[in-house]
């Protein structure tokens, strides 16, 4: 089974604010504040607005946020959850729409095996209990990009429940202390994505693209165990990693949303349970859709889909058609290494700092890049880490490129680091070579080194002559050194390097200069 | 009457009728149910005319032996469809498609490569099954407005076509199959062919009523009334209905036909525009049990496009000949003896029980204690699913769309108000009420529990050794339209589904078999309910019963007389029926 089955799409978030009572360690003010503490967020299926038991007056006390999340991860599968239409990003509008997706009357859903496997795999990775029997339900609401008038989801009995997501972040002065936190996973459910509405305000038209309608989603519901946007963002990032995801997440949405809810509550408003999306242009979250005021989804069992039954090795019926059954134990065996384990291994194997292991994993493809460089170079892991995390990543970030788009291949970097390792070039020359490689003109590091004459000057005599010439040319600096200015020698070193076109090892230059100055 | 060659233009290429038989079915000449095609009373070559009165199996044999060609048969049926247009049985007549299919079929027969029993056989399909390239309306403005033409065939339609059947057209129904009279569709009510039968007319004359005959036509029952009328009036040999609460069996009983509702999960629902997904089953309407078995044999089996169909392979249906019923146990559910049951139906019911008993079968009274909750339970489940299923009709992807465009919501509202009739809107409204969060437990969940109890009633009875249940299909024979519409759709549906709808709740196979004519000369059918997936056993027993009762064939020559007088310019129509 291909490991990267899942990709995260716009996370819908669920927020709840708990007013913490007076004895709480969170207390920072008012002694007799609101005493209701509601830490449990609304479930994914909740329809009621979240209202605290007692509305506080403005400024009377402070609020502590609890953050729960509903994350919708688009399942990467060839076809949709209940139809044979292909799943492709950026296909021409309405080109991937089956009769079922367009809700033609008489069409029926047929469950996609791959999507079920993806859900089971995710459930296992998140330490969930996999329900051997799960059910599908219809969730009704009218919206132009929901052709059937309902979404098929798993409200009553989802495929996986009661898991946990362990996420860690680096804290402390040098970000060297790793802190582990756990968010409970309430449930994971399979459901359909909706289509897209494109509003043409000019002509007051709405255009509907159903390519996405019916694509399989995993809704991962995290209990409100996170206390700030950063925690939530870290948890989402960790989940993304676990899902071998592609997209990026908008961490700044988190704090904005908490503030919005605080303002709302302090102004006497009520927080409605709604899906909001982050608008990066406006810098705020906006309601994703008008869910018809007080929404009642009128849930109903989906009559066209029998209960979804899963098996383990023990319960697998004898002679069952392997195409018709899903064996949880088999999927468990195929689980790939999870990011926490990978990070642990990196620290163990390469003596890497924990924070570096995080960075390597956080960028998609970066770890693989690192490992490929490691395979081909004799350079120290520390050196490789530094080059990958500082130089390569810096260049990528600057140009806003993904690792896969890097013009410098792992082999090229490995070769470059080999040259450096055997002291054929200086570090600064290496940087220069890297820049050349980045321009991607099809040259190998060795070619660049020889063309640009970047080899380290091995000729001691020639170097001594150059040093001599520099000293001759800058008597004032020499005087400064002799007067005891310790920094002046650096200036001389720099001048020598300049005339050597940075090809000489600064330590060697220093040695020569010191010798000469002492004489 | 003279056979008028000059008016034969609609019957181009038609083989001249040579026999001298005067009626649609030669009087008492043919053993309708069991004759293999032996030369009929009219000589070596059977005429198309006698063919029409025959069963599917007989005509299939005649096709194989070359006594008749698919094109002849097709044209004959088309001409009858035209003549009986006033019955309003068809919404769409797919003449061109049928003729083309007939041509293809003819080629196959010439090569000796017929596809099977259904090759060249004219069939009709209720207009709530999707038919590729042929408009499908559900008798609703919602789909009819823009002329919804499905891009795909329902699995059952495809299976029939794959067997070479000729699709004559799409038959009338109550809007979205919601009704029990075939009176509440946008195309108007279907008239029961028995209204024009010799049998019924003679009885009426005896009573010397001088009412206007035309205003006293009878309903077909429903909601598959168009399909029932189509088969009953000899426009085709079999028709598909749908059965959610009795919609196939009820009109079958009123039109003197065999109406089969197979086990839920035996026949694919893919392409059937749903009423209640958890109860809908494609139904089969034929003139005899054998024919129903043939069609079921073609339709049954797993469909990858319908996850609720059974996975097990279905063997071809060949009904064994049952001669000895002494090992059978027939259950008579005592709860079905309701006060509303007409005395005539009641006495035929007990006569049937006696028949089994006299032939050695064990006939016992059984109890289905939750029967009385069935209707109200059905109402909740049905309307809830209806509310959900109808949500897709919003005017965006297909079907009717209103002119209002101030907002999407306003467009939805007006579209749905204009597209659905009162019955549909009423069911959507109550369904949504039952599904509201605050009502869900009290209504929907409770109804589901009751449904389970009802299903368990049947399990208990069948586990006690009962092979089939014998019940009435309807409370009485068909009533005149004017009588029928005195009650509203909901009341009628609740009354008329009383004996049939529990089988849908339990997913059991059930078949209505015509038994006898009432004092008024109208058909009365009885129902057999079998164990889940024992459809073949059920049909075997039904066939034995059918053979015993020898239900008379409808005599329609008067209908055709009327046609010719009513439709002056269609006089030529009578050609096919009289000579």
Give the model's confidence band at A150: pLDDT under 50 very low, under 70 low, under 90 confident, else very high.
very high
Residue of B445, B334, B470 whose CA lies nearest to B384: B445
Give the three-state DSSP class for A146: coil
Q: Are B440 and A299 within 8 A, CB to CB?
A: yes
Which of A62-66, A316-320, A498-502, B418-422 is the most confident on average?
Answer: B418-422
pLDDT higher than 70, residue B384: yes
Residues 6+ apart with CB under 8 A from B44: none
**Position of tokens 């998140």?**
A126
Residues of B in contact with A149 (CB under 8 A): 388, 390-392, 394
Region B77-95 average pLDDT: 96
Shortest CA gap A262–chain B (Å) = 29
pLDDT higher than 60, residue A47: no
- Asked if residues A1 and A114 have their Cβ atoms less than 8 Å apart, the reply is no
Residues of B in contact with A104 (CB under 8 A): 130, 150-152, 397-398
Question: Pick the catalytic residue: B94, B195, B223, B232?
Answer: B223
Q: Are B392 and A47 within 8 A, CB to CB?
A: no
- Give the number of A-B residue pairs with CB atoms closer than 8 Å: 99
Give the model's confidence band at A286: pLDDT under 50 very low, under 70 low, under 90 confident, else very high.
low
- Asked if residues B273 and B129 have their Cβ atoms less than 8 Å apart, the reply is yes
pLDDT higher than 50, residue B9: no
CA–CA separation, B428 and A75 (whole Å): 34
pLDDT higher than 50, residue A25: no
- Asked if residues B386 and B424 have their Cβ atoms less than 8 Å apart, the reply is yes
Region A350-358 average pLDDT: 89
pLDDT higher than 50, residue B29: no
Chain A, nearest residue to B278 by Cα: A303
Give the model's confidence band at A60: pLDDT under 50 very low, under 70 low, under 90 confident, else very high.
low
Per-residue model confidence (pLDDT) at position B561: 55
- Tell me the HSE value of B390 on the side-chain side, using a 13 A CA sphere: 33
A300 interface with B at CB cutoff 8 Å: yes
Q: Are A104 and B270 within 8 A, CB to CB?
A: no
Neighbours of A462 (CB within 10 A): 12
Region B484-498 average pLDDT: 86
Instruction: Mark whether B223 is an active-site residue.
Output: yes
Q: Are B305 and A103 within 8 A, CB to CB?
A: no
Q: Are B130 and A105 within 8 A, CB to CB?
A: yes
Per-residue model confidence (pLDDT) at position A28: 32
Tell me how far apart the 2 most distant CA atoms of chain A are, in Å: 99
- The shortest CB-CB distance from A105 to any of B273, B384, B394 is to B273
Q: Which long-range contacts (CB under 8 A, 24 or more apart) does B98-102 make?
A: B98/B74, B98/B122, B98/B166, B98/B167, B98/B168, B98/B169, B99/B71, B99/B74, B99/B75, B101/B70, B101/B74, B101/B161, B101/B164, B101/B165, B101/B166, B101/B167, B102/B69, B102/B70, B102/B71, B102/B73, B102/B74, B102/B75, B102/B166
At residue B12, φ and ψ (nearest 5 deg) are -50, 135
Most B CBs within 10 Å, among A289, A303, A320, to test the B interface: A303
Chain A, nearest residue to B273 by Cα: A106
H helices of B138-266, in order, are 141-144, 155-162, 198-206, 225-232, 249-254
**Position of tokens 């989802």?**
A158
CA–CA separation, A326 and A314 (whole Å): 12
CA–CA separation, B527 and B258 (whole Å): 10
A105 interface with B at CB cutoff 8 Å: yes
| B106-163 pLDDT per residue, tens | 999 999 999 999 999 999 999 999 999 999 999 999 999 789 999 999 999 999 999 9
pLDDT higher than 80, residue B34: no
pLDDT higher than 90, residue B180: yes
Residues of B in contact with A105 (CB under 8 A): 130, 138, 143, 150, 273-274, 392-393
Shortest CA gap A303–chain B (Å) = 6
pLDDT higher than 50, residue A313: yes
Shortest CA gap B454–chain A (Å) = 18
Shortest CA gap A21–chain B (Å) = 32
- Asked if residues B259 and A286 have their Cβ atoms less than 8 Å apart, the reply is no
Residues of B in contact with A303 (CB under 8 A): 276-278, 308, 385
Region B547-565 average pLDDT: 75
Give the three-state DSSP class for B202: helix
CA–CA separation, B168 and B120 (whole Å): 11
pLDDT higher than 80, residue B27: no
What is the model's pTM?
A: 0.80
Residue of A435, A364, A375 whose CA lies nearest to A405: A364
A34 interface with B at CB cutoff 8 Å: no
Residue of B140, B15, B62, B78 whose CA lies nearest to B417: B140
Q: Is A206 exposed, middle or buried (0-12, 13-18, 19+ CB in 10 A)?
A: middle
CA–CA separation, A98 and A80 (whole Å): 10
pLDDT higher than 60, residue B300: yes
A43 interface with B at CB cutoff 8 Å: no
Identify the helix (H) or strand (E) that includes residue A57: none
- Asked if residues B193 and B553 have their Cβ atoms less than 8 Å apart, the reply is no
The rounded percent of chain B whose pLDDT value lies above 70 is: 86
Per-residue model confidence (pLDDT) at position B565: 39
Residue count of chain A: 519
CA-to-CA dists, residue A430 to A239, A422, A424, angstroms = 37, 12, 10
User: What does the mean pLDDT of chain B come to?
Assistant: 87
Per-residue model confidence (pLDDT) at position B578: 29
pLDDT higher than 80, residue B62: yes
**More confident position, A289 or B434:** B434
Q: Are A299 and B396 within 8 A, CB to CB?
A: no
Q: Burial letters for B381-413: b for 16+ Cβ neighbours within 10 Å, e otherwise? A: bbbbbbbbbbbbbbbbbbbbbbeeeeebeebbe
Per-residue model confidence (pLDDT) at position A6: 32
Give the three-state DSSP class for B47: coil
Region B230-248 average pLDDT: 97
pLDDT higher than 50, residue A217: yes
Chain B, nearest residue to A291 by Cα: B409
Region A128-139 average pLDDT: 97
Residue of A166, A7, A144 whose CA lies nearest to A74: A7
Residue of B110, B123, B121 whose CA lies nearest to B57: B121
Give the model's confidence band at B411: pLDDT under 50 very low, under 70 low, under 90 confident, else very high.
very high
Chain A, nearest residue to B391 by Cα: A149
User: Would you tell me which residues 427-486 of chain A have a C-beta closer than 8 angstroms to some C-beta of chain B?
Assistant: none
CA–CA separation, A457 and A502 (whole Å): 9
User: What does the mean pLDDT of chain A come to?
Assistant: 78
Question: Pick the catalytic residue: B82, B83, B126, B159?
Answer: B126
CA–CA separation, A120 and B55 (whole Å): 54
A156 interface with B at CB cutoff 8 Å: no
HEC-encoded secondary structure of B246-288:
CCCHHHHHHCCCEEEECCCCCECCCCECCCCCCCCEEEEEECC
């Amino acid at each position: 089974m291909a490991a990267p089955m899942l990709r995260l799409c716009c996370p819908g978030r669920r927020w709840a604010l708990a007013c913490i009572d007076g004895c709480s360690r969170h207390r920072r003010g008012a002694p007799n504040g609101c005493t209701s503490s509601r830490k449990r967020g609304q479930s994914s299926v909740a329809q009621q607005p979240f209202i605290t038991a007692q509305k506080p007056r403005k400024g009377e006390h402070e609020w502590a946020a609890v953050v729960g999340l509903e994350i919708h991860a688009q399942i990467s599968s060839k076809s949709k959850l209940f139809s044979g239409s292909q799943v492709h990003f950026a296909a021409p509008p309405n080109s991937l729409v089956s009769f079922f997706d367009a809700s033609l009357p008489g069409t029926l859903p047929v469950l996609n095996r791959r999507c079920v496997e993806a859900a089971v795999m995710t459930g296992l990775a998140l330490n969930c209990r996999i329900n051997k029997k799960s059910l599908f339900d219809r969730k009704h609401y009218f919206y132009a990009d929901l052709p059937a008038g309902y979404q098929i989801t798993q409200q009553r009995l989802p495929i996986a429940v009661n898991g946990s997501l362990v996420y860690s972040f680096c804290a402390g002065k040098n970000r060297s202390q790793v802190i582990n936190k756990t968010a409970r996973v309430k449930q994971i459910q399979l459901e359909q994505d909706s289509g897209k509405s494109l509003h043409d305000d000019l002509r007051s038209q709405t255009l509907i693209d159903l390519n996405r309608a019916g694509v399989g989603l995993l809704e991962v519901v995290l209990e409100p165990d996170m206390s700030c946007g950063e925690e939530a963002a870290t948890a989402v990032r960790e989940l993304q990693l676990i899902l071998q995801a592609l997209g990026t997440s908008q961490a700044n949405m988190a704090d904005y949303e908490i503030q919005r809810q605080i303002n709302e509550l302090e102004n006497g408003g009520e927080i409605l349970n709604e899906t909001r999306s982050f608008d990066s242009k406006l810098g705020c979250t906006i309601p994703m859709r008008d869910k018809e005021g007080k929404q009642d989804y009128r849930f109903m069992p989906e009559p066209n889909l029998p209960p979804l039954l899963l098996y383990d090795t023990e319960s697998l019926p004898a002679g069952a058609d392997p195409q018709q059954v899903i064996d949880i134990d088999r999927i468990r065996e195929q689980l790939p290494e999870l990011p926490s384990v990978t990070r642990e291994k990196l620290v163990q194997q390469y003596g890497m700092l924990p924070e570096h292991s995080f960075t390597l994993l956080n960028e998609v493809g970066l770890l693989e890049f690192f490992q490929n460089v490691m395979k081909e170079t004799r350079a120290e892991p520390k050196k490789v880490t530094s080059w990958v995390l500082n130089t390569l990543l810096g260049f990528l970030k600057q140009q806003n490129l993904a690792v896969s788009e890097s013009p410098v291949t792992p082999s090229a970097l490995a070769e470059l680091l080999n040259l450096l390792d055997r002291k054929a070039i200086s570090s600064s020359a290496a940087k220069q070579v890297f820049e050349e490689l980045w321009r991607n003109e099809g040259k190998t590091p060795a070619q660049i080194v020889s063309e640009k004459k970047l080899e380290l000057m091995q000729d001691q005599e020639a170097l001594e002559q150059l040093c001599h010439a520099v000293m001759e040319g800058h008597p004032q600096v020499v005087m400064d050194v002799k007067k005891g200015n310790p920094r002046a020698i650096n200036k001389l070193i720099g001048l020598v390097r300049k005339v050597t076109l940075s090809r000489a090892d600064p330590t060697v230059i220093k040695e020569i200069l010191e010798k000469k100055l002492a004489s | 009457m003279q056979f008028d060659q000059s008016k034969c233009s609609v019957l181009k290429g038609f083989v001249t009728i040579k026999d001298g038989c005067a009626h649609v079915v030669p009087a008492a000449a043919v053993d309708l149910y069991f004759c293999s095609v032996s030369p009929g009373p009219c000589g070596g070559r059977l005429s198309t005319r006698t063919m029409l009165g025959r069963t599917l199996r007989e005509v299939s044999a005649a096709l194989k032996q070359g006594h008749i060609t698919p094109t002849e048969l097709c044209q004959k049926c088309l001409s009858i469809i035209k003549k009986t247009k006033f019955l309003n049985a068809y919404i769409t007549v797919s003449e061109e498609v049928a003729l083309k299919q007939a041509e293809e079929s003819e080629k196959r027969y010439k090569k000796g490569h017929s596809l099977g029993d259904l090759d060249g056989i004219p069939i009709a399909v209720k207009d709530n099954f999707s038919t590729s390239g042929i408009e499908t309306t559900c008798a609703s403005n919602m789909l009819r407005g823009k002329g919804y033409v499905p891009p795909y065939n329902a699995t059952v339609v495809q299976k029939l076509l794959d067997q070479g059947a000729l699709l004559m057209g799409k038959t009338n129904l109550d809007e979205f199959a919601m009704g029990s009279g075939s009176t509440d569709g946008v195309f108007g009510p279907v008239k029961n062919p028995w209204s024009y039968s010799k049998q019924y007319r003679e009885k009426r004359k005896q009573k010397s009523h001088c009412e206007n005959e035309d205003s006293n036509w009878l309903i077909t029952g429903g909601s598959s009334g168009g399909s029932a009328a189509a088969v009953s009036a000899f426009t085709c040999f079999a028709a598909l209905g749908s059965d959610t609460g009795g919609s196939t069996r009820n009109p079958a009983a009123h039109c003197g036909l065999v109406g089969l509702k197979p086990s839920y999960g035996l026949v694919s629902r893919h392409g059937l525009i749903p009423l209640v997904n958890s109860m809908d089953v494609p139904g089969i309407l034929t003139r005899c049990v054998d024919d129903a078995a043939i069609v079921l044999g073609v339709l049954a089996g797993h469909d990858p496009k319908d996850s609720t169909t059974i996975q097990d392979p279905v063997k071809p249906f060949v009904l064994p000949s049952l001669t000895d019923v002494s090992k059978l146990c027939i259950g008579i559910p005592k709860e079905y003896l309701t006060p509303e049951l007409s005395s005539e139906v009641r006495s035929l019911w007990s006569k049937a029980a006696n028949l089994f008993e006299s032939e050695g079968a064990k006939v016992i009274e059984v109890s289905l204690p939750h029967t009385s909750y069935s209707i109200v339970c059905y109402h909740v489940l049905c309307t809830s699913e209806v509310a959900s299923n109808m949500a897709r009709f919003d005017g965006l992807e297909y079907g009717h769309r209103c002119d209002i465009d101030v907002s999407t919501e306003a467009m939805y509202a007006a579209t749905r108000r204009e597209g659905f009739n009162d019955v549909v809107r009423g069911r959507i409204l109550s369904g949504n009420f039952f599904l509201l969060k605050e009502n869900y437990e009290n209504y929907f969940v409770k109804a589901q529990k009751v449904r389970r109890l009802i299903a368990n009633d049947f399990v208990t009875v069948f586990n006690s050794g009962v092979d089939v249940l014998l019940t009435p299909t309807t409370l009485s024979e068909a009533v005149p339209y004017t009588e029928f519409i005195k009650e509203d759709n909901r009341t009628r549906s609740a009354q008329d589904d009383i004996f049939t709808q529990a089988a849908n709740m339990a997913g059991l196979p059930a078949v209505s078999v015509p038994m006898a004519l009432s004092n008024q000369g109208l058909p009365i059918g009885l129902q057999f309910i079998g164990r889940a997936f024992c459809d073949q056993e059920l049909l075997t027993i039904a066939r034995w019963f059918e053979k015993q009762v020898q239900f008379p064939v409808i005599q329609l020559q008067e209908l055709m007389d009327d046609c010719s007088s009513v439709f002056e310019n269609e006089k030529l129509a009578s050609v096919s029926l009289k000579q």
